Structure 1
Amino acid sequence: MGASSPTGGNFRQRLTQDEKTAETRRRLLDAAIGCLIDRGYANTTTSEIAERAGLSRGAQLYHFPKKEELLTSAVEHLYQLMFGEMKEKVSRLTNEDDRRATAIDLMWEIANGRFMTAWIEICVASRTDSYLRESVSAAKDRAAELIDRSFRELFPRPAGAPTEYDLIPEVVLLILQGMALEGQALNSEFTTKVLTALKTFKL
């Protein structure tokens, strides 16, 4: 009978419900990231997340009964968004004559982006909120692997380069993140000098 057939209407309805569930969770996670960006971690509440997502408080509690569950899931969602952004930017480097200068400019874009703002909020919060620490640490490790793999592909190790050569992308990103954290307080002339130095220093 149709009701028991894997190709019947009931099976299709179950898939549709799965899709609806995934969409609802995505809306909540997008809203959580929006709150982190606009309000900061300390001022992010599950009630506001639900409101931003256009969902009832009950719907939010159904999918994420605890704030901890919502925010740890938001870490993974944020990583996926940042991963997609990074892949898109790396794809721009394939045919560039001056890859290093372009790579620095693209990394500076990432450091000043909205996703990085949310990431910094999460990272700072993970210092004192142990439930976030494991998720943040895992995401950092995965991001480091992506950066390292991309760097090796785009900038093969020169003959005779020291072992520290492999640390360059992580060090550069840490410098840019620190500068971005200064925001408007950072002197624009100093920013230009640092970016120029990163583009021209001898490897």
Structure 2
Amino acid sequence: MSQTPAPSDAAPKLTRKAQREATHAALLQVAVMLLIERGAAGVTTLEVQQRADVSRGALLHHFPTRAHLLSATVTELIRRNEEAVWREQAHTASEGDPLTEAIRSLVAAASTSSYVAEMELWAVSRTDPTLRDTLRAAEQDALKARERVLDELFAPLRHEPGYRRVVDLSIEFVRGLVLSNLLRNDSRRSDELVAAWVDAARLIIERARDPLGGKP
């Protein structure tokens, strides 16, 4: 009588494709961690290679240059930023006013380390043309995901004629506020500015509804 082979305790071997994907993910996670903890200056290819425990050849296969490595973090940062938006949106859902909820959710999400890290990359790229070019390509690839998040967040206002302008200006406002808060940690001032922007955004919508201001 033949015996059934005993099940092997050894874990199944990964395919080459799975191995490459796992290595890529490990390198990227380490790079994002260093970027958030130390800033862009603290992300070196040697440090990433050592922390991910891969060979130099493996690192260069996935990310030929430091610029490619840094720009690749954008997708992961945007994913984390999206998660932060929905967490904050759930917290502000009691506001009652969709415009206030959307803007306050953006502001709160922008205070996370992943959002600040993404902005830091753009600041560093000012004097690094190679990084700037790769970042632009990475941001362009992530544009659809970002637009989807904004459209969902501001969904109650999409029918308004001033919708696009309010969304675009809100993004610029948030970016400026983040940079300002790095220098001045004044929560009361930030709250006042956010409230003022909500009022201004509401005025933009009202004027877009009636550009003549009620005049015949």
The answer to whether the Cα contact below 8 Å between 1:28 and 1:60 also exists between their aligned partners in 2 is: yes
- What's the C-alpha RMSD, in Å, of the aligned pairs? 3.0
Of 135-144 and 177-186, more deviation after overlay is shown by 135-144
Aligned-residue offset at 1:90: 5.5
Of 91-100 and 128-137, more deviation after overlay is shown by 91-100
SS in structure 1 of the partner of residue 174 of structure 2: helix
2:24 aligned with 1:22, yes or no?
no
Structure 1 residues 110 and 94, CA gap change in structure 2 (3 angstroms): closer
Q: What residue number does 1:7 align with?
A: none
Aligned-residue offset at 1:193: 0.7
Aligned 1:1-203 pairs, distance under 5 A: 13=13, 15=15, 17-53=16-52, 55-58=53-56, 59-86=58-85, 97-127=96-126, 128-130=128-130, 131-139=133-141, 141-142=143-144, 145-150=147-152, 153-158=155-160, 161=161, 164-186=162-184, 187-201=186-200, 202=202, 203=205
- Rounded to whole Å, the distance in 2 between the matches of 1:14 and 1:38 is 31
The answer to whether the Cα contact below 8 Å between 2:63 and 2:69 also exists between their aligned partners in 1 is: yes
1:67-119 CA-to-partner distances (Å, cap 9, x unmatched) read 23322322233333334444565577889733222222211121111111221
The answer to whether the Cα contact below 8 Å between 1:148 and 1:169 also exists between their aligned partners in 2 is: yes
Task: Give the aligned residue type for 2:170.
Answer: V
- Rounded to whole Å, the distance in 1 between the matches of 2:148 and 2:90 is 13
Aligned-residue offset at 1:40: 2.0
Structure 1 stretches lacking a partner, 5+ long = 1-11
1:52-77 CA-to-partner distances (Å, cap 9, x unmatched) read 33x14434334334323322322233
Q: Which has the larger radius of gyration?
A: 2
Aligned-residue offset at 1:191: 0.8
The answer to whether the Cα contact below 8 Å between 1:126 and 1:136 also exists between their aligned partners in 2 is: no
SS in structure 1 of the partner of residue 158 of structure 2: coil
TM-score, scaled to structure 2: 0.69
SS in structure 2 of the partner of residue 70 of structure 1: helix
